[in-house]
Chain A
Amino acid sequence: MFDWLTQSWLWLTQNWLHIVVPLLVFLATYVVGLWVRRIAYRAFNRWAATDKWEGSQLIIQTTRTPFIHWFLILGAIIAIHVSNLNASAEALADKVLASLFVFSLIWVVVSLSTKILKLYIGKVKRLQPSEALLVNIVRITIAVVGALILLDVWGAPTTPIILLLAAVILIAALAFRDVLANLFSGFQLAQGEQIKVGDFIKLESGESGYVTDVTWRNTQIRGLDGNLVLVPNSRLLQSTVINYGRPLRKATKPFRFYTHLHLKELTGLKASNLTELVKVLKEVPDPVIYYHTHNFLEEHHYLTPEPANDFALWVSDELGDEVLGEKLASIDTFDFPTIGALRARIEGVIRDYLSKKPDGRTAHEGREFHFIKSISFILPTPYIAHDLREFVEVLRQVSLNSLSYHIFEARLRLKKGVNDFSIWIEDCLGDKDLADRLAYLDPYNYTLESLRSTIIQLIEKRIK
């Protein structure tokens, strides 16, 4: 024990300079490091204060502590090189210190990239599903690069590993090419800020609705029928999209589109001549009059101009009385707010005609006028509109039955006196001018398709 102490003392007195000098060099580097950090971070802080980039503060916070670690590692390397360690010990120490530096650097890069990534992901609303995945991808990538550097530092062969990794990355990229395409498209969408949550968009493929979410793979659109449509981000970027922007003023109550379907019920009543026609006409219930004044319009709506009511057609075709046929055809259904008034007019025209001219021909057997009643089934559609833009888009999609229900049946058969669209626009949107324009539009002058187009044009003009 005494010998060992004596020998150590002897060695120290002979080599004290080889110990003190590296120690001093190490301490000096550490002091320089502290000084450099102070100067550098003052400058960084000034730059960060003027720069609006949120990431600059992250850089400062993340690198401040490791910065001094790197000077410590630098000091250790210089100290080892000024010491009298043998070459192999020196090389080993270099490798250890280089590895420490690589570890520290990787930690900084991982930490910094994670923080910056989260900063940007936060800008894309609800990208949560991608956050963990993306952060992990970045961490793994940096860790792999760091491991390769470490292997290189320790002299291990890295080329086969790099080739293997390249192959894995290529296969993964091919396998997840759609995912990647959507992912990058999602970032493009977020960066461009052309499509945002709440916007009303319409794709060239026909889908339309409000953007409810933009995820890393899809953009969610809530259609006007309430269905959610998921559009892959890459498809959204590739297709032509009309972005109507934010919703228009909301109605106090939404407009629910209904439709009607008719079942024909035979009354068993028929007429062979004008006298019988006018007699039965007086007795039949309202749905019979509604049927015979609207049936041809609904069944032959593709023909232009619209054919007249059934009474006019029968009188012309089966009784061969073109004059009375024309008089009946020229009765403008739009002039009458109720079926009762319309019936009285038809009856009046025939009675007036009969008072001047005796009843003429009788229809051939089998060609009599058969009175038919229309039973109307009214059912809701999934379509609801909260504002005029939604209303127009729904109007493009609903069936012609729905259109005829709100325009013809609501006004006359359900005794509202005016069409449903005008009522909603006036009562729930307060737009009396537009409501009046629609109310004064004579729907009997159009085919149903052209009526739809005309209403859409009127509303679109108003929206613009």
Chain B
Amino acid sequence: MQDKIYLQSRSRLQDYEPIVGRSCLEELRVLAGELSGKIIQIINSTFVGGGVAEILEHMVPLLNQLGVDARWDVINGSEEFFEVTKRFHNALHGKKEKISPEDFALFSEVSERNLEEMRFYGDYFFIHDPQPVALIAKKKEIGRKWLWRCHIDVSSPDKKVWKFLRDFVADYDAAVFSAPNFAQKLPIRQFLITPSIDPLSDKNKELDSGTIDAVLKKYGLTSDKPMIVQISRFDRLKDPLGVIEAFEMVRKSIDCQLVLAGGTAADDPESGEVLEEVRRRAEGNPDIHVFLVPPESDIEINALQRAATIIIQKSLKEGFGLTISEALWKAKPVVASAVGGIPLQIKNKLTGLLCYTVEGAAYALKQLLSNPEYANWLGQNGKEHVKQNFLITGHLKDYLLMFLALDQPSDVVYL
């Protein structure tokens, strides 16, 4: 079992008031009051790295500040286990993966071990992603409410893997997905809850120009020409090679530079290999900059996003794509693939530009680089869209409502 980390919120709930307004916080307090005396046990696979851990790191302390007794635990797993779950992850995204009966057996074996070793004390169990999904076996013994939160794009999953996981998911009380097209045929209730960004986190807070310049200097970048930036984990599903291809098309007619920056996650053993591929592909092109950024570099990521002229996210598959919300929050024009939860964040031609192909991405980039006023208008709309729909306060509200909805079958609930 990984050591439990004790989170101390860097932001106080009232710090969000100037951004979201007093009434929003008042509503959250009312909802939290309805869960008084209940324990929410949140379980995932890692405390560090990746979007899920990042959200929980901010979410759990804020729930605690609201008076909700939310506690975060992680399962234990070997390197082999996480290699298997990474392949599950890719397969759920629709990628062809070789998954043997031994892999399923390993998954079940590690899940059994976690079932024996873990302490289950919640009134609500909030299980994130496929790695700990099999913990539902405990429900037969202890009952209570169980929710499965899927952060993955399961719109066209590998049937074999989904069938294996579905048997676990069907035993939950409800499942939560990040986009409408991720919904599955399940005998349980399914909620749509989008992830969120924390506007006060290091990754999203306002930065002064001195900090931005210092980061650019550190990475050997200059702001003398437009900068296209993709911030993503080095993962084939983020299509970094496609981004380079689109950039090269743009570069033929517009002088600009490309920055590909990202990190790795503890539960993603493949990213080192992808990083090497990207570096080889970028070799010899002085306008393409590839940076491996360690997990604790949030200020640097923030600075790179703020220094960007355009932010691109050309994912082939995407859970939700929080980097889009991060970019929009900084009022940046964004070009992104219409996959996963991205269309929820980008309403084409209103809050950004959607693309489907490398050529489409190149065309959109050229449009924005040539029309800075239009790019700025999209960026401003995008910021407002994130403010209304994808901030952590809205996410907290959705989670609180979801727990309350489990006990309320009605479509209209009076609190």
Contacts and interface: CB of A to CB of B under 8 A. Distances in A.
A382 B26 contact: yes
Nearest to A269: B183
Interface in A252-286: 259, 261-268, 270, 285-286
B192 A266 contact: yes
Interface in A379-437: 379-382, 397-399, 401-402, 413-414
A370 B27 contact: no
A261 B411 contact: no
A397 to B, nearest CB: 8
B377 to A, nearest CB: 11
B157 to A, nearest CB: 12
Contacts of B105: none
A365 interface: yes
A366 interface: yes
A265 B189 contact: yes
Contacts of A367: 181, 338, 343
Interface stretch (B96-104, B243-251, B384-392): B384-392
A379 B23 contact: no
Given A300-B385, A377-B401, A382-B26, A266 B31 contact: no
A81 interface: no
Nearest to A268: B183
Contacts of A267: 183
Interface in A311-331: 317
Contact of A287 (B26, B338, B348, B411): B411
Contacts of B413: 375-378
Given A263-B405, A268-B183, A399-B23, A303 B350 contact: yes
Q: Which of B192, B343, B347, B412: most chain A Cβ within 10 A?
A: B412
B23 A402 contact: yes
Given A366-B339, A401-B27, A266 B411 contact: no
Give the bracket for the number of chain B residues in contact with chain A.
35 or more
Contact of B415 (A268, A370, A379): A379
Interface string A191-232: 000000000000000000000000000000000000000000
A377 B399 CA distance: 13
A368 interface: yes
A95 to B, nearest CB: 69
B348 A317 contact: yes
Nearest to A287: B411
Contacts of A399: 21, 23-24, 27
Contacts of A401: 23, 27
B129 interface: no
Given A265-B190, A300-B347, A381 B23 contact: yes
Interface in B367-415: 381, 384-385, 388-389, 397-398, 401-402, 404-405, 408, 410-415
Contacts of B388: 299-302
Q: Which of A265, A270, A374, A380: most chain B Cβ within 10 A?
A: A265
A240 to B, nearest CB: 22
Q: Which of B24, B180, B384: most chain A Cβ within 10 A?
A: B180
Contact of A398 (B23, B180, B190, B339): B23
Contacts of A365: 156
B82 interface: no
Interface string A39-69: 0000000000000000000000000000000
Nearest to B153: A366
Contacts of A375: 401, 405, 408, 410-413
A372 interface: yes
A211 B343 CA distance: 51
A265 B339 contact: no
A302 B384 contact: yes
Given A302-B384, A378-B414, A413-B412, A368 B401 contact: no
Contacts of B177: 266
Nearest to B414: A378
A252 B170 CA distance: 53
Contacts of B339: 366
A374 B347 CA distance: 21
A381 B186 CA distance: 36
Contacts of A382: 26
Contacts of A300: 347, 350, 385, 388
Nearest to A402: B23
Nearest to B412: A376
A268 B185 contact: yes
Given A263-B402, A268-B185, A367-B338, A379 B411 contact: no
B65 interface: no
A366 B156 contact: yes
A266 B27 contact: no
A380 B402 CA distance: 19
Contacts of B404: 377
A317 B347 CA distance: 10
A380 B33 CA distance: 13
A366 B191 contact: no
B30 interface: yes
Given A266-B191, A375-B405, A368 B181 contact: yes
A38 B185 CA distance: 108
B183 to A, nearest CB: 4
B398 A263 contact: yes
A267 B26 CA distance: 30
B335 interface: no
A225 B218 CA distance: 51
Nearest to B185: A268
Interface pairs A-B: 9 shortest CB-CB:
A370-B180, A399-B23, A266-B183, A264-B192, A266-B190, A263-B401, A379-B415, A287-B411, A302-B384
Given A259-B27, A300-B347, A399-B27, 6 more contacts: A263-B193, A285-B411, A299-B388, A379-B30, A379-B31, A381-B26
Interface of B: 21, 23-24, 26-27, 30-31, 155-156, 177, 180-181, 183-186, 189-193, 338-339, 343, 347-348, 350, 381, 384-385, 388-389, 397-398, 401-402, 404-405, 408, 410-415
13 contacts: A259-B27, A261-B27, A263-B398, A263-B401, A266-B190, A268-B183, A270-B181, A302-B388, A376-B411, A377-B415, A378-B412, A397-B23, A399-B27
Interface of A: 259, 261-268, 270, 285-287, 299-303, 307, 317, 365-368, 370, 372-382, 397-399, 401-402, 413-414
